[in-house]
Amino acid sequence: MNDAHTVLAANAAFYDAHESRNLAAMQAVWEHSDRVACTHPGWPILRGWAEVETSWRRILEGPGRNQFIITNDTVEVVGEVAWVTCDENLVAPGSTFTVAATNVFVRDPGRGWLMVNHHGSPVGA
Amino acid sequence: MNDAHTVLAANAAFYDAHESRNLAAMQAVWEHSDRVACTHPGWPILRGWAEVETSWRRILEGPGRNQFIITNDTVEVVGEVAWVTCDENLVAPGSTFTVAATNVFVRDPGRGWLMVNHHGSPVGA
């Protein structure tokens, strides 16, 4: 796979981890460092892996259930950094809504492309 | 200035252009390419400089007036790419609100650090 395809696979793994509520898979997607940041839709910016991991632990342990259908995705790779923009179409019983997302990845020599920033925002809110 | 300071100066120029409603200054902040993307708070993702520029033209020509006070900003630089996260605190008569932002920059050999992605989302929405 070329870089773009590998990054899109990492991006897909992020949404698979969320949809399947798999914390270990979510941990595997992210860089575990102070420089990571995560902005869930409507939330303030969370910074550093400890804070980001805690948010995912609570989200994935919670009652929410969503199917993620990713559309309109693009990827750009410049050196060891890549960023993806995409629409997260969330399907829940009786409703659907769309979250616009920006996901930034950095290539780790051992672990491959790791997420360093996720930013999601509700479209139409 | 080191890279982090130069990127933060580019980030500040973006908000100065917005606050002063200066389209030429906003044009100077951005890379003019197909790979740029911009997600205004609550909007769908806009892609490509033509679409992004049109959005800024309409926003800056409109009636809105805001003072931007940037807080909680961090910058990371990896090679020719940098990303900033920050809070945009918007002060308008009688109200204030906060937008969480992720801004991605790529270093251009001639023009310096140029914005390739802006993503803003309302905090608390």
Tens of pLDDT along A31-80? Answer: 999 999 999 999 999 999 999 999 999 999 988 778 999 999 999 999 99
Query: What pLDDT is attached to residue B64?
Result: 77
Which of A45, A100, A125 has the CB atom closest to B85's CB atom? A45
Q: In what order do the strands lie in the sheet with A81-92?
A: A46-47, A37-39, A112-122, A95-108, A81-92, A67-78
Would you call A121 and B124 a contact, using CB atoms and an 8 Å cutoff?
no
Average per-residue pLDDT in chain A?
95
**At A60, which CATH number?**
3.10.450.50
pLDDT tens-place string over residues B31-72: 999 999 999 999 999 999 999 999 999 999 988 778 999 999
Contacts of A40 in chain B (CB under 8 A): none
CA distance B99 to B92: 13
CA distance B110 to A119: 30
Amino acid A60 reads L
More confident residue, B112 or A1: B112
Q: Is residue B125 part of a domain?
A: no
Which band of pLDDT confidence, cut at 50, 70 and 90, is reported for residue B91? confident
For A58-80, letters b (16+ CB in 10 Å) and e give eebeeeeebebebeebebbbbeb
CA distance A69 to B29: 33
User: Cβ neighbours of residue A68 under 8 Å, at least 6 residues apart?
Assistant: A15, A18, A19, A88, A89, A90
Contacts of B125 in chain A (CB under 8 A): 42, 122, 125
Q: Is residue B124 part of a domain?
A: no
Q: Is residue B97 part of a domain?
A: yes
Contacts of A38 in chain B (CB under 8 A): none
Q: Is residue B17 part of a domain?
A: yes
Which of A78, A100, A117 has the CB atom closest to B80's CB atom? A78
Q: Determine the structural domain holding residue A20 and report its residue range.
A: 3-122
Is the pLDDT confidence value at B125 over 70?
no
Helix then strand then coil, in percent of chain B rounded to 5, is: 30, 45, 25
CA distance B73 to B34: 27
Contacts of A116 in chain B (CB under 8 A): 76, 83
- Across the range A74-98, mean pLDDT stands at 93
Contacts of B44 in chain A (CB under 8 A): 87, 98, 100, 123
User: Cβ neighbours of residue A59 under 8 Å, at least 6 residues apart?
Assistant: A18, A40
CA-based nearest residue in chain B for residue A118: B102
Number of domain units in chain A: 1
| Substitution target from A73, A78, A86 for chain B, most B beta carbons within 10 A | A78
Residues 33-62 of B with CB under 8 A from A: 35, 37, 39, 41-45, 47
